[in-house]
Amino acid sequence: MRDELIKGYVKAFGAMPDMLYFSPGRVNIIGEHIDYNGGKVLPMGISLGIYGAITWRGDSLCRCVSEGFNHEAIYEFDLKGYSESDDFTKYIKGVLYVLTKYKGAKFDHGFDLYMTSTLPASSGLSSSAALELLISHIVNDEYKLGLSNLDCVLMSQAAEREYAHVNCGIMDQFAIGMSEKDKVILLDCATVDYSYFDFKLDGATLVIINTCKPRNLSESKYNERRAECEAALKVLKAKYGKNTLCEYTMAELDSVKDKLTDNLYRRARHAIREEIRVEEATKAMQEGRLKDLGLLLNGSHKSLKEDYEVTGLHLDTIAEELQKSPIVLGARMTGAGFGGCAIALINSTNKDEINKLMDDTNEIYHEKTGIYYKYYYCESSDKTGKME
């Protein structure tokens, strides 16, 4: 990829780049739609990601090329004054905006930036967060801002929320900015306490399946789900006083059921039960009980389908068809839903066997949806940083 990255930069800007960076995507093993409800999640950085080649300029112009967005076009903005846009540069501008707002950064020289990606856009693997972390690290290095990895995570989250207008939790940026190779992160999204443990599959394989049905978070029902959770929390908090939805028990939720609509009850039920699944999945992974982990993945998908209603035909077809296979331990959607990606934990390391399963399932998927999915073997990755 290094040679392709340099070649792309030279084609775009007619010179060699000064620095190369990589920012991984992320996959969440389990713990969906509870990061913003104060829950625990089990994400990791993955080897699919965004690559950036950059040279700093002497003036205030920023020129950006994204092969994934439109590799022929150069998108420009000036540090002396820029406006919001609907293209990928909104994430770049967002990082600059929040670093100025919260860290007092002063940007006086721009850059030529070329990016290419192995991470499918709008797929639920956090391409926007990967881009935000990429820019945070690039700017931190050049301007010697002294930001820690966690600072870069928090600034990237602020960029998504305040500039891209997606009311996201902390998980995506944290998983990308804090990941370690061959590790899974147990992250408490309420306290930002975290720990690592080994990503050991012991004869199994984790596969990512891209529905190839893109969705835009800011145009989806993501913010609606957040609002529903906040409404349910308000009722629970009035009686019990606890600050986040995932702190509550099912008994406490049931005690206020008559004060909630059916939708609000089911949204809260998903959050509370998903928190329990994360705790059980953590123990199962640590103890090597992959069959139990697979059952928890299946339970997560069922809850996301029936209680949280964020799956849909494409994700349901993938998860439910794969769950029928005797070599699949578990399958579920991952990410925000409404399209995007699913994951499958397969009790095999034989790629011929796995490929046949995935190809056969793809034919069923095509019959039901009219499109084909793409799939990727999942490997963990280190956090965002310079390429050595």
352-382 pLDDT tens trace = 999 999 999 999 999 999 999 999 998 899 9
* Sign of the four-CA dihedral 308, 40, 148, 65: negative
Task: Kindly state the average pLDDT of the residues 170-195.
Answer: 95
Instruction: Please count the CA atoms within 13 angstroms of the CA of 334 that sit on its side-chain side.
Output: 28
Find, among 136, 134, 156, 132, the residue nearest to 146 by Cα: 136
Say what percent of the chain tops pLDDT 70.
97
Q: How much is the pLDDT for 218?
A: 46
Q: How much is the pLDDT for 166?
A: 82
Task: Kindly state the average pLDDT of the residues 331-355.
Answer: 95
Q: Nearest 5°: phi and psi at 279?
A: -60, -40
Write down the pTM of the prediction.
Answer: 0.90
Which residues are designated catalytic?
172
Give residue-wise pLDDT tens across range 192-234: 999 999 988 989 999 999 999 866 554 568 889 999 999 999 9
Total count of residues recorded for the chain:
388
CB contact at 8 A, 189 and 35: yes
C-alpha span between 205 and 345 (Å, rounded): 6
The residues near 229 (Cβ < 8 Å, ≥ 6 apart) are 36, 37, 245, 267, 268, 271
